[in-house]
Structure 1
Amino acid sequence: MIKADAADDALPCARILERLRQRIRAKGYSQRTEAQYVHWARRFMLFDPVRHPGETTAREVEAFLTHLAVEGRVAAATQKQALSALLFLHREVLGRELPQFDEVVRASPPPRLPVVLSRREAQRVLDRLHGVYGLLARLMYGTGMRLTEALRLRVKDLDFERAEIVIRDGKGALQRATILPEALVFDLGEHLLRRRQLFDDDLELGRGGVELPDAVERKTPGARTAWEWQYVFVAGTHSLDPRSGELRRHHLDGKLLQRAMKKAVAAAGVDRPATPHTLRDSFAIHLLESGHDLRTIQQLLGHAHASRTMVYLQAIKRRA
């Protein structure tokens, strides 16, 4: 924790947000986390614009979190994310620890059972997804990966000899392994051949660099232009990295698959709100229905607690 002095309390809000970005990057957090934490810090400052952030107390934080739950009607996960951002802001930037919050009105997570496709429905949807979107969707359905995990896959994470995929950037910064379906080996291999040609073209343009975890960036400077560290699924154009200012190719935008999935679901005649995450849920349900044990499925999905995996048993009972 950084200790704040009196001068810190007088910093303008823009400077506080800039310090917040610096601390997030120093900690090695992702760009997505940076955007979320800065968003919630800004929302908190606008909630009480008269009081300077350096002067706020736990009571103001409690009032903001309660406002999100009552007036904002946010989901429990959203309120929890806002709390994490504010705890980080106060601890790492403003130099103070906040106490436990006992009087916050908690957002109640609604009871939710996953939307699940039958095997036949899943096949109908997948048949209507083509190109990179089709490959990405089949990979999610065949491995149980989250969308962000699939998008952040790097070439080195695919082990064709062991028929295994290593997920290094999973939820909660956890690492795990999942299966590489035999049915996808050929298509993935063909995709990597095209991806390698694109990478070679980028290198010639001086745009072959890739975002790396901070530890790798420091220890292996040459890794940023190494083939094995490249994203498997990448954007069609180059973009300016907001941190380094470098023009390079980022991984594919998940919204593109979400839109393609929505069209495929409608074309397949499925009358439920299936999304890319539905492919992950369907993977788990179909494994359970095939007789696989709950512990194995928990490990493949990367659930920290078995209670999260137990939801699939409830979904099976509902479908019975």
Structure 2
Amino acid sequence: MPYPSRNAPINRSAIGSGSPRLLDEVRRRIRVRHYSLRTEHIYVGWIRRFILANGKRHPRDMGAAEVEAFLTGLAVHGKVSASTQNQALTALLFLYREVLRMDLPWLENVVRAKHGRRVPSVLSRDEIGRVLALMDGRPRLLASLLYGTGMRLMECLRLRVKDVDFERNEIVVRDGKGGKDRRTVLPATLVAALREEVERVRLLHAADLAEGFGEAQLPHALARKYPNAGRELGWQFLFPSERRSRDPRDGCERRHHFDDGMLSRALKVACRRAGIVKPVSAHTLRHSFATHLLEAGADIRTVQELLGHKDVATTQIYTHVLNRGAGGVLSPLDR
């Protein structure tokens, strides 16, 4: 079975006029549930691939057998990871349960992609210093903030001005993974730089207001409850984009947050220049934050709260540095 790209176009005439409207309905249901725009793109992409892989048939004419075959093909032929396969399954279950109102029986025959337990890639303190020294501007500040707070990339980019509490030296992470809020540490070395960012946002926001714009996108139904809140400084993104763009959800022109791709590219360039051959991403900085805290003697429950993990078992993946493992054993050859 072929597995086309999630961005491949769907021919309206080939599968009927209802299919494009189906994807529109998927988007509408996702927005009703206040899922992020990124989740919307992922779900629509998997549903599109599912339709194309089944000869552009309407999902209502298919069921558990086709879903099983698609997911099995991803694991057997596509060689995808377990998390990718689960992502596809979640998208298809959303389609059938929330959009088509069809309840699929338990998918017994799906060949599951293997879950591998892997130790996270972690940079040493020296490597962190070398990488940050080779970065500049906003990418350096963002990378420093990720390492200094343990935030996820999108949690960092979605920070609003009001979320940084300079008086209490903490950052409030709103609507993190699982829809939970939490607090994390504000590194003292970044206070001055973040104050400059707030001032930069203030000037940028004033210019936008003068041009008839300046209304930030508010989460959930806050825009209806507080109609003028979106124009307040506190709701503006702490790291705004350089230029305004049109929001695909409501068509309004507004200033969104900094592009995550720019940070990822700057990080890769810095790692290459620093001679680091480990696989490094923005999430590696979060792994390094947790590992270095535990190395310094921080309580694992404290680290769990700072990372926003639901279960301490998730945080325990970093305890390999406490037990030292192979790194804490002196080889007989060295004796």
Normalising to structure 2: TM-score of the pair?
0.89
1:137 and 2:143 are equivalent in the alignment: yes
Provide Cα deviations, 1:55-114, integer angstroms capped at 9, x if missing partner: 212111111111111111111111111111111111121111222212111111333211
Alignment of 1:81-230 (within 5 A): 81-230=87-236
Query: Take 1:261 and 1:15, find their aligned partners in 2: how far apart are those partners?
Result: 40
The amino acid of 1:119's aligned partner reads: R
The amino acid of 1:290's aligned partner reads: A
Contact between 2:215 and 2:254, CA under 8 Å: does it hold in 1?
yes
Call closer, same or farther: CA 1:11–1:304 in 2, change over 3 Å. farther
Give the structure 2 partner of residue 3 of structure 1: none
CA RMSD of aligned residues (A): 1.5
- Once structures 1 and 2 are overlaid, which stretch shifts more, 35-44 or 208-217? 208-217
Shift of residue 33 of structure 1? 1.0
Give the structure 2 partner of residue 302 of structure 1: 308
Give the structure 1 partner of residue 29 of structure 2: 23
Query: Take 1:217 and 1:68, find their aligned partners in 2: how far apart are those partners?
Result: 40
Provide Cα deviations, 1:231-257, integer angstroms capped at 9, x if missing partner: 111111111110111121110111100
1:245 and 2:247 are equivalent in the alignment: no
Shift of residue 206 of structure 1? 1.8
SS across alignment from 2:184: strand
Contact between 1:152 and 1:169, CA under 8 Å: does it hold in 2?
no
Q: How many percent of aligned residue pairs carry the same amino acid?
A: 52
Query: Take 2:63 and 2:326, find their aligned partners in 1: how far apart are those partners?
Result: 46
Contact between 2:197 and 2:239, CA under 8 Å: does it hold in 1?
no
Which residues of structure 1 form unaligned runs of 5+?
1-9
Match among 295, 302, 317 for residue 325 of structure 2: 317
Query: Take 2:308 and 2:210, find their aligned partners in 1: how far apart are those partners?
Result: 38
Match among 61, 72, 89 for residue 66 of structure 1: 72
Which residues of structure 2 form unaligned runs of 5+?
1-15, 329-335
Count of equivalent residues? 311
Call closer, same or farther: CA 1:127–1:153 in 2, change over 3 Å. same
The amino acid of 1:63's aligned partner reads: A
- Once structures 1 and 2 are overlaid, which stretch shifts more, 284-293 or 211-220? 211-220
